[in-house]
Amino acid sequence: MFPANLVLGTQSWTAEGWEHAFYPKGLDRKHWITYYSGIYNAVEIDSTFYAIPRRSTVQSWRENTRDGFFFAAKMVQTITHEKRLQGVKKELDVFLSTIGELKEKLAVILIQLPYYNKKAFENYDAFHEGLNGFLEMLPKEFRFAVEVRNRQYLQKSLFDTLKRHNIAYTLQDIRYMPPPAEVMSMNDVVTSDFAYCRLIGDREGIEAETQVFDKEVWPREKELADWASILIRLSNQVQKVFAFINNHYSGFAPGTLARLKAAMG
Give the pLDDT confidence of 66-76 residue by residue, as tens digits.
999 999 999 99
Could you state, in order of their start, the residue ranges of all structural domains in the chain?
Answer: 6-263
Between vectors from CA 72 to CA 263 and to CA 89, what angle results, nearest 5°? 145
Share of the chain above pLDDT 70, in %: 100
- The interaxial angle of helices 55-63 and 89-99, nearest 10 deg, is 30
In percent, the amount of the chain with pLDDT more than 90 equals: 99
pLDDT at residue number 183: 98
Give the model's confidence band at 1: pLDDT under 50 very low, under 70 low, under 90 confident, else very high. Answer: confident
Nearest CA to 66 among 44, 102, 46, 41? 41
Nearest Cα to Cα of residue 41 among 263, 244, 246, 220: 244
Tell me the CB-side half-sphere exposure of residue 162, using CA atoms within 13 A.
28
Report whether pLDDT(155) > 90.
Answer: yes
Task: Tell me the per-residue pLDDT of 86-138, one tens digit each, with 9 for 90 and over.
Answer: 999 999 999 999 999 999 999 999 999 999 999 999 999 999 999 999 999 99
Q: How confident is the model at residue 265 (pLDDT cuts 50, 70, 90)?
A: confident
CATH 3.40.50.300 describes domain 6-263: no
Q: What is the rounded average pLDDT of the residues 21-31? A: 97
pLDDT band of 182, cuts 50, 70, 90: very high
* Beta carbons of 47 and 16 less than 8 angstroms apart: no
- pLDDT tens profile 4-18: 999 999 999 999 999
CB atoms within 10 A of CB 230: 20
Average pLDDT over residues 213-227: 96
- Whole-model pTM over 0.85: yes
pLDDT at 257: 98
Strand pairing class (70-74; 42-45): parallel
Residue at 80: amino acid letter = T
Q: Which residues on adjacent β-strands are paired with residue 7?
A: 242
Residues 6+ apart with CB under 8 A from 88: 78, 79, 134
